[in-house]
Amino acid sequence: MPRKAQRLVLLATFLLALAAACGASSSATSASATKSTTPSALPFKATFSAPSHHPVVNKNWPITVIVTDLSGKRIAATLQMNVLLGSLRVGQIDNGKIYHFVGRHHENITWPLSAVGHPLTLQAVVKAKGKTKKLLWAVSVVKK
């Protein structure tokens, strides 16, 4: 099988495994494409945190997103998370579910074996006060 075809098969397998491993929600809605605003023009602050950049296959990997106004008060926001390979979206957490929260969102993500060996990025798309901010977190999934 040619190398390019092998990559496509591997990518398709990864997408299916990621969708299955991250859970599903029948009430999930997809986010429309929006332009990110420069951080200095945003009326809010958003931060992403995780214990490391190396989640372990089939283990809970806790993440937290915190959104505040510029004075530090927690505000209403939405969050959708995507998995990127380079600049290409190859998956979505919880099948693209949009979470609505005030100030803090915490979740455990479980990564599939097919994610090992790929330089991935978890993209958290945060919307608040009519603006969008994309937070990026490099991920290298490991087996233990």
Segments forming the whole domain that contains residue 70: 3-139
In-domain check, residue 13: yes
The answer as to whether 44 is a domain residue is yes
Model confidence pLDDT, tens digit, residues 70-109:
999 999 999 999 999 999 999 999 999 999 999 999 999 9
- Domain of 14, CATH number, reads 2.60.40.10
Domain count, the chain: 1
pTM (predicted TM-score): 0.74
* 3-class secondary-structure state, position 113: helix
Residue closest to 54 by CA, chosen among 111, 136, 127: 111
pLDDT tens-digit profile of 24-38? Answer: 332 333 333 344 555
63-77: burial string, b at 16+ Cβ within 10 Å, e else:
bebbbbeeeeeebeb
